Amino acid sequence: MSLVAPKDYMALLDKAASSLKEKLAPFKDTPIVSPRVLIICGSGLGGIANVLAPEPRLEVPYGDIPGFKTSTVPGHAGKLIFGTIGENKVPVICMVGRLHFYEGYTFQETTFPVRLAKLLNVKTVVVTNAAGGVNEKFKPGDLMIIEDHINFPGLAGFHPLKGPNLEEFGPRFQPLSDAYSHELRHLFFKKASLLGVTRAIHQGTYFFAAGPTFESRAEVRMIRTLGGDAVGMSTVPEVIVARHSGMDVLALSLITNAGVGEKPPSAFEENPKPLDDGMASHDEVLESANEASKDVQKIFTATINEL
């Protein structure tokens, strides 16, 4: 899978944008023709789409959008929903089902929806993910507002902005010291407090691992040493491309499991703790996400209503 040349990538994006504008044409007298926010739903967090008003609403399967890849992961449906959120009827696009690098897609493909949102004039990207807790204070079911990230694959050359720069969107050397908007993080936190949400809300650093394996014990310790509070297989490419396109970002991790960082039981022990104690599984991720989803939906409705 090689990089698509900028000219061809732009042509694909333009085609996708035109196709969506055509589908939106019958909604020209409603707010959804001018979406302001893109919401990317993480594993098991597709329920966020339930906060969109029943009308007006347009659902477009990824397969119907030229150039858009389809999601292959259980818990990721694969459709864009155009709708509104909250009393203020803020027009949003909800991306139910995301595309991951580990599925075999290039970063150009996984971040295509973010570029597409920019072409539709979206101003803010709200990203969610399921993540493993690396910080020992984090428990499954907790939330973490992402304040910073470590792009581990990116530092080794697997970077979403690698290749010719797309000048139409942003600069060659994109700074990332302001990647996660303080205003949006504070707004999210304020709304959660006002709503009386009792679920623990942390803030921390998201460590991007390419996956698809969950981390080994030694990797969990390494991530902890490097400053990661939570680890997951998504989000960072989308965030980088959103910032490169000048969009503001709010990102949230739902801690679905605790990363296992203790040394494995010693070979010299007779009756050790089972080796699979605390082991991560995708089913556990989906179950935990499903439970926390209601709180996330409530806080997002209140937060996005202000955008």
Closest distance to ligand HPA from the beta carbon of 122 (Å): 26
CA 11 to centroid of chain Cα atoms:
25
**Residue 132 makes contact with ligand HPA by CB under 6 A:** yes
Q: Is 43 annotated as a binding residue?
A: yes
Residue span binding ligand HPA (CB under 6 A) among the ranges 64-72, 177-185, 198-206, 255-263: 255-263
Q: What is the 3-state secondary structure (H, E, C) of 221-273?
A: HHHHHHCCCEEECCCHHHHHHHHHCCCEEEEEEEEEEECCCCCCCCCCCCCCC
**Residue 236 makes contact with ligand HPA by CB under 6 A:** no
Write the binding mask 191 to 230 for ligand HPA: x where contact by CB under 6 A, - elsewhere: ------------------x----xx---------------
Q: Burial-class residue 110 by CB neighbours within 10 Å (0-12, 13-18, 19+).
A: buried
Tell me phi and psi for residue 278, to 5 degrees: 80, 5
E strand spans, 78-121: 79-85, 90-96
**Residue 151 makes contact with ligand HPA by CB under 6 A:** no
For ligand HPA, give the closer residue by CB, 91 or 132.
Answer: 132
Residues composing the chain: 307
Q: What sign results for the dihedral spanned by CA atoms 12, 14, 20, 25? A: negative
Write the binding mask 158 to 197 for ligand HPA: x where contact by CB under 6 A, - elsewhere: ----------------------------------------
Question: Alpha-carbon distance 135 to 220, whole Å?
Answer: 10
Q: Is 258 annotated as a binding residue?
A: no
Catalytic residue among 16, 17, 117, 130: 130
**Residue 293 makes contact with ligand HPA by CB under 6 A:** no
How wide is the angle at C-alpha 36 spanned by C-alphas 33 and 42, nearest 5°?
110
Q: Which of residues 264-283 bind ligand HPA (CB under 6 A)?
A: 280
As a dihedral over the C-alpha atoms of residue 66, residue 243, residue 237, residue 221, rounded to 10 degrees, the angle is -160
Q: Which residues bind ligand HPA (CB under 6 A)?
A: 130-132, 209, 214-215, 231-233, 256-257, 259, 280, 285
Looking at the annotation, which residues are catalytic? 43, 76, 100, 102-103, 130, 233-234, 257, 282
Binding-site residues for phosphate: 43, 76, 98-100, 130, 234
